[in-house]
C-alpha cells in the first residue's frame, strides 16, 4: 500500500527549493499580465480601427496565437529564436517574451469586448466635445472599459499563473520545478507533486475569491 509522508516538508525546504520557483512564477505572471494587457490593448484598437492595414494583421495574429497550444509556442520560441539571433537568450527571458506575446492575444479579445460594451452614446458625446479618436479612447472609453474588465482580467491572470507551470518544458526554474527538485533530493517525488498541486490550488482559490469581491464592487458601482 502506498504511504504518503510529508514530514520532510519544512521551512528550510521551502526557502531552499520552493521559494525561488514561486518568485519566478509570480514575476512571470505579473510581467505577462502587464505586457499582455498593454500589447493586447494595441491589438484591440487595431482591430476596432476599421482600417484594413491594421485590422487584418491584428486579426491574423490574435487568431493564430489562440489556435496554437501555449506549450508549443514556448518550445518554438525557445528553440528557434537562438538560431535567428545567433545566441541563446535563456529559459527565463524566453518564457517572459513568449507569455507576453501569447497572452496579448487573449487580453486583446477581452479589451475589444470591453470597449464594445460601452454605449455608443459615450463615443458620440466625446466627438461632440471636439475630442479626437485618441482622446476619446484615452479619456472616455478605456477608463470605463477597464473598470468593467477588471474581474475578467484577474480571472485570465489566474489561468496565466496556472500556465506558468508549462515553462517546465524548457527547464525554467518555476514553482513546479522547485517542487520537482525538492522531491528528487528528498526521495519523495509523489508527495512533492501532491504538495505542488495543493499550493497551486490554495493560490488560485484565494485569487478566485478576490475576483468575486472585486466583481461585486464593480457591480455596485454600475
Domain spans in the chain, listed from the N-terminal domain onward: 11-221
Q: Are 49 and 55 contacting, i.e. CB atoms less than 8 angstroms apart?
A: yes
C-alpha cell at 62: 490574435
Q: What is the mean pLDDT of residues 52-61?
A: 94
pLDDT at position 7: 57
State the pTM of this model: 0.86
- Between 219 and 72, the higher pLDDT residue: 72
- Between 149 and 204, the higher pLDDT residue: 204
Fold of 11-221: MetI-like fold (1.10.3720)
C-alpha cell at 34: 502587464
Counting Cα atoms < 13 Å in the Cβ hemisphere of 68 gives 20
Q: Are 112 and 44 contacting, i.e. CB atoms less than 8 angstroms apart?
A: yes
Looking at 70-141, list the stretches that DSSP marks H as alpha helix, in order from N- to C-terminal side.
70-85, 91-117, 120-128, 133-136
Most confident of 124-138, 167-181, 203-217: 167-181
* Per-residue pLDDT band at 126 (split at 50, 70, 90): confident
> Under DSSP, is residue 51 helix (H, G, I), strand (E, B) or coil?
coil
* Per-residue pLDDT band at 5 (split at 50, 70, 90): low
Residue in the structure block whose three cell numbers are 492575444: 105
Does pLDDT of 188 surpass 50? yes
Does pLDDT of 177 surpass 60? yes
C-alpha cell at 166: 508549462
pLDDT at position 2: 45
Average pLDDT across the chain, whole number: 86
Does pLDDT of 158 surpass 90? yes
* Per-residue pLDDT band at 150 (split at 50, 70, 90): confident
- How many whole angstroms separate alpha carbon 81 and alpha carbon 173? 20
Amino acid at each position: 500500500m502506498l504511504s504518503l509522508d510529508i514530514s520532510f516538508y519544512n521551512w528550510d525546504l521551502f526557502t531552499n527549493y520552493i521559494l525561488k520557483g514561486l518568485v519566478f512564477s509570480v514575476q512571470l505572471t505579473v510581467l505577462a499580465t502587464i505586457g499582455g494587457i498593454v500589447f493586447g490593448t494595441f491589438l484591440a484598437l487595431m482591430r476596432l480601427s476599421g482600417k484594413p492595414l491594421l485590422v487584418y494583421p491584428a486579426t491574423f495574429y490574435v487568431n493564430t496565437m489562440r489556435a496554437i497550444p501555449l506549450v508549443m509556442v514556448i518550445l518554438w520560441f525557445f528553440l528557434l529564436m537562438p538560431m535567428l539571433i545567433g545566441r541563446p537568450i535563456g529559459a527565463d527571458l524566453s518564457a517572459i517574451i513568449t507569455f507576453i506575446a501569447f497572452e496579448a492575444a487573449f487580453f486583446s479579445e477581452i479589451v475589444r469586448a470591453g470597449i464594445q460594451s460601452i454605449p455608443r452614446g459615450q463615443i458620440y458625446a466625446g466627438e461632440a466635445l471636439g475630442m479626437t479618436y485618441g482622446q476619446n479612447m484615452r479619456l472616455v472609453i478605456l477608463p470605463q472599459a477597464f473598470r468593467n474588465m477588471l474581474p475578467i482580467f484577474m480571472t485570465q491572470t489566474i489561468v496565466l499563473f496556472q500556465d506558468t507551470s508549462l515553462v517546465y518544458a524548457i527547464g525554467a526554474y518555476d514553482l513546479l520545478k522547485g517542487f520537482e527538485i525538492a522531491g528528487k533530493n528528498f526521495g519523495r517525488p509523489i508527495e512533492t507533486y501532491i504538495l505542488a498541486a495543493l499550493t497551486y490550488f490554495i493560490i488560485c482559490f484565494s485569487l478566485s475569491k478576490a475576483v468575486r469581491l472585486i466583481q461585486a464592487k464593480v457591480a455596485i458601482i454600475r
